[in-house]
Amino acid sequence: MFDDLLVRAPVTGDFDRWLPLWDGYNEFYGRSGDTALPLDITVETWARFHDPRQPVHALVAEAGGELIGLAHFLFHRSTTAIADSCYLQDLFTSAPARGRGVAGKLLAAVAAEARSAGSARVYWQTHETNGTARSLYDKLAERSGFIVYRMAV
């Protein structure tokens, strides 16, 4: 655990400290080198976090003056509930922060944001090979049993 861990919304001046986390997250999921996200997507994603008209939000974890984790989430309508759902799209902690409670704090903060917004649930997905994350997720949430499919259009 970090004695001075702070989970907060990022400010525009955090971009240069957020970017290495974002790059690390994308690299973890194989989006690097020739398959890296184009810079315009990263820049637009960052801009959306700071646009109150957008349903996309971010939180960062900070300790010792360094950003050590991120969570990106969005709210959307559902056909099975009146309240919006909260989808946790991205969750990442720096290597030195892993196993020190940062991801759990970020998840709790996203859940608090969802409750505050009137959402009844937060849901997310992870790769089946991400055993470290899955061991945490299995303690905090239930597995839905659904399999994710994607179709390029």
Average pLDDT of span 66-73: 98
d(CA 36, CA 117): 33
Cα dist. 51→9, 58, 74, 108 in Å? 12, 11, 13, 23
Q: Is the pTM of this model over 0.85?
A: yes
The pLDDT value given to residue 2: 83
Q: Show Cβ contacts of residue 126 under 8 Å, excluding neighbours closer than 6 positions.
A: 133, 134, 137
Q: What percent of the chain has pLDDT over 90?
A: 88
| Displacement of CA 45 from its chain's centroid (Å) | 12
The pLDDT value given to residue 23: 95
Q: Is the pLDDT of residue 83 over 80?
A: yes
Average pLDDT in the chain: 94
